[in-house]
């Protein structure tokens, strides 16, 4: 279970979409049955709310000293929501440009599922996996871009500006790899050792090499020798270099 489910439940309560009694029942059931599926940091935050939910008294006639009122519970829920979002932001601190606009699709993936379906048995792309545990694809409303000269020496005529329209959904990653192999494009080895995770908005894929974490773009109108270009040394650096697209 993603912590996003807790965030949604707490938000519903804060926004009065559900009442305190329904929140109490839903939260207790969720926390007691799913707590092993969240991180230790998130567990500690939610455990504090669990204590407050446990002390909440819905029936005012049964209220005893030490019990929490609905107002108390709401305040605790608001504090918990803020801490959960802060934890999430820290986990997904790959995009360094605060002005970069992006919309992430909530992930329901597990690390085991990602590794198994993509054939990942090394630790060179852990941050790539971490992103897909949080977001199952990302859309950049204004288009994003980065420059190769941030990491490499660029000479006249070299590719420099790299555009990014979106990060693929996980299912599309699987389909893209499968399609490359089925079409017998001569890219079998490349496809088996790299993962396509982004599109430049023009149908060209951006890949991560499984064994090294190096990021590359492949321009399909060229051969693999001419159209495959290294753009960043790793996933962290690639993401941290992204900014909103401009004409520069």
CATH code of the domain in which 111 resides = 3.40.1580.10
pLDDT at 90: 57
Q: Which domain holds residue 42?
A: 4-91
pLDDT band at 179 (very low <50, low <70, confident <90, very high): confident
Q: Mean pLDDT, to the nearest integer, of 77-84?
A: 89
Greater confidence, 166 or 99? Answer: 166
**Is the domain of 111 the same as that of 228?**
yes
59: pLDDT strictly greater than 70: no
d(CA 174, CA 207) in angstroms, rounded, equals 13
Query: Of the candidates 91, 114, 144, which is a domain's last residue?
Result: 91
pLDDT band at 111 (very low <50, low <70, confident <90, very high): confident
Q: Mean pLDDT, to the nearest integer, of 58-62?
A: 62
| 182 burial via Cβ count (<10 Å: 0-12, 13-18, 19+) | exposed
Assigned domain for 98 exists: no
Assigned domain for 96 exists: no
pLDDT band at 61 (very low <50, low <70, confident <90, very high): low
**Is the domain of 117 the same as that of 70?**
no
**Is the domain of 76 the same as that of 110?**
no
| Structural domain total, the chain | 2
pLDDT at 37: 67
Assigned domain for 183 exists: yes
pLDDT band at 185 (very low <50, low <70, confident <90, very high): low
pLDDT at 206: 98
Looking at residue 32, which CATH number applies to its domain?
A: 1.20.120.650
Assigned domain for 60 exists: yes
In this structure, of 66-70, 139-143, 199-203, the range with the lowest mean pLDDT score is 66-70
d(CA 23, CA 29) in angstroms, rounded, equals 10
pLDDT at 130: 86
**Is the domain of 62 the same as that of 109?**
no
93: pLDDT strictly greater than 80: no
pLDDT at 2: 62
**Is the domain of 63 the same as that of 143?**
no
Residue 199 C-beta-side C-alpha neighbours within 13 Å: 14
**Is the domain of 156 the same as that of 71?**
no
pLDDT band at 42 (very low <50, low <70, confident <90, very high): confident
Number of residues written out for the chain? 248
Report the predicted TM-score, pTM, of the whole model to 2 decimal places. 0.65
**Is the domain of 74 the same as that of 129?**
no
pLDDT band at 55 (very low <50, low <70, confident <90, very high): confident
Long-range (24+ apart) CB contacts under 8 A made by 50-55 are 52/76, 53/23, 53/24, 53/27, 53/28, 54/28
228: pLDDT strictly greater than 60: yes
Residues 6+ apart with CB under 8 A from 1: 30, 34, 37, 38
In this structure, of 3-7, 29-33, 45-49, 113-117, the range with the lowest mean pLDDT score is 3-7
138: pLDDT strictly greater than 90: yes
pLDDT band at 35 (very low <50, low <70, confident <90, very high): low
């Amino acid at each position: 279970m993603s912590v996003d489910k807790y965030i949604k439940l707490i938000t519903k309560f804060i926004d009065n979409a559900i009442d305190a009694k329904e929140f109490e029942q839903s939260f207790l059931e969720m926390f007691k049955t799913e707590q092993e599926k969240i991180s230790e940091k998130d567990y500690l935050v939610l455990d504090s709310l669990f204590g407050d939910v446990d002390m909440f008294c819905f029936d005012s006639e049964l209220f005893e000293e030490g019990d929490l009122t609905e107002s108390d519970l709401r305040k605790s829920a608001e504090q918990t929501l803020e801490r959960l979002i802060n934890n999430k932001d820290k986990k997904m601190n790959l995009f360094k440009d605060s002005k970069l606009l992006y919309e992430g699709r909530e992930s329901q993936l597990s690390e085991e599922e990602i590794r198994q379906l993509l054939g990942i048995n090394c630790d060179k792309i852990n941050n790539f996996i971490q992103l897909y545990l949080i977001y199952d694809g990302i859309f950049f409303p204004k288009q994003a871009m980065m420059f190769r000269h941030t990491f490499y020496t660029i000479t006249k005529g070299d590719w420099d500006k790299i555009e990014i329209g979106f990060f693929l959904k996980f299912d599309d990653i699987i389909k893209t790899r499968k399609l490359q192999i089925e079409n017998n494009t001569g890219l079998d080895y490349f496809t088996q050792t790299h993962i396509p995770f982004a599109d430049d908005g023009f149908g060209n894929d951006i890949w991560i090499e499984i064994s090294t974490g190096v990021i590359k773009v492949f321009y399909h109108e060229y051969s693999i020798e001419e159209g495959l270009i290294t753009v960043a040394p790793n996933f962290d650096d690639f993401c941290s270099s992204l900014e909103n697209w401009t004409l520069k």
